[in-house]
Amino acid sequence: MIRTTTAITREVVPIVSANKTQSRANVLAVYKEMQRYAPELYREFHFEDMPLSVFRAALKKQYTDNAHLTDFRVIDRKIAECRRVILECQKSYYNSYHLRNVLFRENIEAKPKDFLSTFLRGKN
């Protein structure tokens, strides 16, 4: 039996959005969903040491950090990731320290890069 092979071309298709405007609408929808869930998240993960407005601003910063993205397939991937994080927070898979480290990454002390800094810091 003789088999003939044909060239198969792959076309990358978007995950959800067909164009940039639809992608933008999806981003705004998931942003609104997160902001609606913010007060419950604020109480559930014990962020009472800061005002709710600061917590909401930290959530907003997570979105504005990705404002440079233009490929709507990448944006769709980020939207799916955000929905997954919302679901994981609702199911309490995260603890408050993990969420605090994600939202306020700039407050985490940087790890030393060289041997001398590690030695002087006193940690292995």
- The reported pLDDT for the residue numbered 87 is 93
Inform me whether the pLDDT recorded for 9 exceeds 80: no
| pLDDT value at residue 97 | 85
Q: Are 27 and 75 in contact (CB under 8 A)?
A: yes
pLDDT of residue 88: 92
User: Stretch 85-106: mean pLDDT, rounded?
Assistant: 86
How far the first Cα of the chain sits from its last, in Å, is 65
Q: 62 or 6: which carries more pLDDT confidence?
A: 62
Q: How far apart are CA 75 and CA 120, in angstroms?
A: 43
- pTM higher than the cut 0.75: no
